[in-house]
Structure 1
């Protein structure tokens, strides 16, 4: 789902474990998207118009209306259309969004927020990345990839799309939300969140595009293609009630939260799949893509309907205690009871029905501490445990429902420092995350899958920002991560093969970003420069296909027409770097990053 960033007030990357607050699986942290909310200060309108490369047009507007001293409403709408966000043939993209909310604050101790969010997007002939070809037929082989089997990325295929006409992917989702905050007094407060969510998602595309050696019919080789049609009918609701207290205990500040949570999920998932070769092969350089097949005859590999119902009950508690004004101790725990019902209807077997039920009861906890060495230098450390399923809970195979949840633990320590009256900020952390009981192959019976695999990652992160003068602002961030399978076996052509020591797919070891903004107050114009880097990654657990890292350079110029109107121009990938962003499906498809592009944006507030 592509949601225009216009609708969000901020997107929070909550570092460190958060399993206590958001449930199972949140071992390393969460991303919290916070939509724009009404304010009680005044009535105003925001608007934005942007146009750029690949005929990409984005429009958005929002209005905040103060109805009275205690009631305000806000509504935002956006629309984007593009020939292709990746500059790929036959890949027209559209997305739209509508968010609205009402804020009611009848008293200082009571706030009620009601909101609705709706997003929709669609991609014609979904781009699955460029398929790899043999070096023997490549017309312009790129150095962006190294493989053990002689396959390469051919720059000559940069703009090609091998999905048949009529292939597409898209989503339509709606969320209704309410939030009530009530303060009793003497440090006590109550918060209630109620959410209902529904979504329809479609993935109708060629899932496999495998290179086949040249033949008489295809002297350039060919891509053998499969067809898949996957649909999601997803409905979810969640109720969360939390009682909190912020007061003094034995002369020390103490913050305590006790809560309960219940959610219910219905997920219907028809999945249709043909074998590779289920639709006609195509020439890599002169593809006749054809049209999407009509009817179900092509779906000989799989034609099933998964029906899942999941209910989760949870209780959680967290306490933050100031041992001294500078030293904070934190502890939290969460217990869940998860009930999963899975049913599968096999339409290729005359509608045969099989089912499985599973119950899980994960318990997760964390402890942590922060210490202020000075008012501007803080140290922190935390240890967390969490649990998650061996795959997506709602799409587990019937066999995998018998597996226990995988266990994870994380330890992290770091610091945050400010200097020069807050004009310079520096944060850093080191961490280690480990997961046990991931699915692997049984060494004594390679045809059987068992739990027993292990995955671990350790790393360091450092970020800095500085307002050196009123005109010049600098920022930079660097991270290093060493991730590997400590235990994993796979079955390859009937042979048990160890992946111990290998790196998981799509995981660069290092990333780096830097920016500089300089404002000429007299004009006023702000110039910006941006540098980004990601190191290489593997596309398979065998680590046989390696996509090399890349550097990207962006720039921007922004002119403040008035205090409320600004015009900006942004250039992206100025060096026109040819690089792989991540691997698609299968591992021999690589998503190629967008080439050099430019956009012009006008923003205003009235």
Structure 2
């Protein structure tokens, strides 16, 4: 990686030396195909957001709860991943574990890859067996847009709680600019990164980002290594037509950590850094995204866009994942020897047309489009996961024998699926008056799944199923003043009863689950637009959950229901003397309205991994033109780890800080301090709450940035 990094740097330096400083501007009139020449420093309620609508609406114009972070904010705060950044937004908490790819969230009372959708530049990779492993790297992020609440009308199945859209840095016109970073921190963590972009010719511009991070980790045998490359080339074919070809590559070997086991139901601080996994454990994710975007301004009122993409993911696990304390034997037992591999390929295309027009004499904008995806998913594993030691292998609590991976179940092909998805969608905004606008949307999804299950002798059984769903939204926005609006909306969503592309033969017998949300909200910019605040209240009901049959053991019914109600608020202030404050808070009441777990009613219980309250605050100050500093607080309330609400993870409050100094005109030094008070806290849980995945201890990271 170092050789690759240095050779790329040398090549880009040569290109920079040859670039014409007076290169003309190559920006298209359509904002969606241009990119800033400098990094975006701030986003406000009058900035167009990508997550809440495809109509290029601002936050004030969108009848939904939307929020944005810029890449500059993320890196200034010292967030080391997309997950760290996203969980500073309103009401979203981290539920990531090695089992789900480390990138799952809880939002508005709904949890996991099937309810909180993740997009990369507006494109989604379908979740395979509840797992998504991309994106995680924040070096190449230009901004992150978040839409809270149901969004299937925009993006299809799997978006009841929220949608998170990570937008990478784009090619831009002008002289070539290069940005190099090297960093070092606790646990021998090392970073080398490059960001380069600019014009190659009068019609070609590019952007290249490379980031490599390596660490020894803060737990025993917790080595990790992650490499991320993002490259894009834009061709301005004419004033009205542009093509962008991009490829993003991620290779991750994260810290292999399945959590600290509870001893007699209690957490022991002395076990915080212990690793009970086997010596030959594997945790490896490889993702590749290739996309071709076409933007065409057909005339003053009509534009078209097309995105053709090929996505590929390979994931590998080989671990002893369960470490449970035996009260009867007074020892720790290691079990759950799982060996799993995912191979996933997705080919897709999205075509949209946007028209500005009159509707019964009213100013209106309409978007119509179609989506197509074809996904191949192969799963290999050692299912049914029969351990050599059926009762678990005893291991020493403080000096565990690492041992080797061993299983009585052979590793083999389990099943392969081919999923075809087609959708038609439309969205419209009509200005009913100078102050009142109506935003509507409809979508029709059709999915066909073919599945081949392989028996031990190699014979296959084939099943297939077709599913369809309709989604819609209706929202009204009333502009009280140019800087203040109120809104009300209803929106629906659909979720699969499991990962859509990996539905089992039994799960294929069920329809999609449906949800509906009612939301009202208020948004305002004030104090000469130096401040803004938002407030939202919502109620969501999700029906058709799978639940056990209370009358027939082993039988499953699709009659479950879950609901949530909540309040969310955010505040952003640019204060005198170059102080700045960002804060948010949320309260949610989530419960099962109708749900049976192994014949026991869980009505009234809170769903697992859902905190009732979350809050974030970040205070920063530009001390002078060269020095700035900031500190932040993150709060997450207690969460239950089981449906019976018997196992509880405690709440936590964590403080982080950062400082930067522009030591020379082209050189900036930075210092990040994470978990300043060395709080021991559980981010999330594993194995039914018997293992706590802990947050990182107090750590530092020093960076040196050079631009040329």
Conserved? CA contact 2:567–2:587, under 8 Å? yes
- The superposition leaves residues 106-144 of structure 1 with CA deviations (integer Å, 9 ceiling, x where unpaired) of 3221121110001101136x211111112xxxxxxxxxx
Partner Cα separation in structure 2 for residue 565 and residue 253 of structure 1? 50
Partner Cα separation in structure 2 for residue 560 and residue 471 of structure 1? 17
Conserved? CA contact 1:44–1:64, under 8 Å? yes
Structure 1 stretches of 4+ with a deviation exceeding 4 A read: none
Q: Displacement of 1:67 after TM fit?
A: 1.5
Structure 1 position 543 matched with structure 2 position 645: yes
Partner Cα separation in structure 1 for residue 200 and residue 527 of structure 2? 42
Partner Cα separation in structure 2 for residue 435 and residue 312 of structure 1? 23
Question: What's the counterpart of residue 553 of structure 2?
Answer: 446
The structure-2 alpha-carbon separation of the partners of 1:304 and 1:133, relative to structure 1 and needing over 3 Å to count, comes to farther
Question: What's the counterpart of residue 92 of structure 2?
Answer: none
Deviates more, 1:239-248 or 1:157-166: 239-248
Partner Cα separation in structure 1 for residue 652 and residue 375 of structure 2? 41
Structure 1 position 568 matched with structure 2 position 670: yes
Q: Who wins on radius of gyration, i.e. which is larger?
A: 1
Question: What's the counterpart of residue 91 of structure 1?
Answer: 222
Conserved? CA contact 2:149–2:159, under 8 Å? no
- The superposition leaves residues 292-318 of structure 1 with CA deviations (integer Å, 9 ceiling, x where unpaired) of 23xxx5227x96512111001111111
Name which of 36, 44, 49 aligns with 2:182: 49
Work out which structure has the larger RCO, using CA pairs closer than 8 Å and 6 or more positions apart in sequence: 2
Question: What's the counterpart of residue 420 of structure 1?
Answer: 527
**Aligned-partner SS, 2:553:** strand
**Aligned-partner SS, 2:382:** strand
Alignment of 1:193-212 (within 5 A): 193-212=307-326
Structure 1 position 283 matched with structure 2 position 413: no
Question: What's the counterpart of residue 586 of structure 2?
Answer: 479
Q: Displacement of 1:271 after TM fit?
A: 2.1
**Aligned-partner SS, 2:501:** helix
Structure 1 position 252 matched with structure 2 position 362: yes
Partner Cα separation in structure 1 for residue 463 and residue 689 of structure 2? 31
Q: Decide which structure has greater strand share.
A: 1
Conserved? CA contact 1:100–1:116, under 8 Å? yes
Question: What's the counterpart of residue 237 of structure 2?
Answer: 106
**Aligned-partner SS, 1:351:** coil
Q: Displacement of 1:352 after TM fit?
A: 4.3
Q: Displacement of 1:68 after TM fit?
A: 2.2
Q: Displacement of 1:520 after TM fit?
A: 1.8
Structure 1 position 405 matched with structure 2 position 535: no
Partner Cα separation in structure 2 for residue 30 and residue 37 of structure 1? 21
Question: What's the counterpart of residue 266 of structure 1?
Answer: 376
Conserved? CA contact 1:56–1:82, under 8 Å? yes
The structure-2 alpha-carbon separation of the partners of 1:16 and 1:421, relative to structure 1 and needing over 3 Å to count, comes to farther
Conserved? CA contact 1:208–1:586, under 8 Å? no
Q: Displacement of 1:334 after TM fit?
A: 0.6
Partner Cα separation in structure 1 for residue 667 and residue 519 of structure 2? 43
Question: What's the counterpart of residue 272 of structure 2?
Answer: 158
Partner Cα separation in structure 2 for residue 247 and residue 70 of structure 1? 32
Conserved? CA contact 1:3–1:95, under 8 Å? no
Question: What's the counterpart of residue 139 of structure 1?
Answer: none
Partner Cα separation in structure 1 for residue 358 and residue 674 of structure 2? 53
Question: What's the counterpart of residue 142 of structure 1?
Answer: none
Partner Cα separation in structure 2 for residue 284 and residue 504 of structure 1? 31
TM-score computed with the length of structure 2 as normaliser? 0.78
The structure-2 alpha-carbon separation of the partners of 1:106 and 1:470, relative to structure 1 and needing over 3 Å to count, comes to farther
Question: What's the counterpart of residue 208 of structure 2?
Answer: 75
Name which of 273, 281, 295 aligns with 1:167: 281
Question: What's the counterpart of residue 500 of structure 2?
Answer: 393
The structure-2 alpha-carbon separation of the partners of 1:369 and 1:313, relative to structure 1 and needing over 3 Å to count, comes to same
Question: What's the counterpart of residue 605 of structure 2?
Answer: 502
TM-score computed with the length of structure 1 as normaliser? 0.91
Task: Please give the root-mean-square deviation of Cα atoms over the aligned residues, in Å.
Answer: 1.7
Conserved? CA contact 1:227–1:299, under 8 Å? no
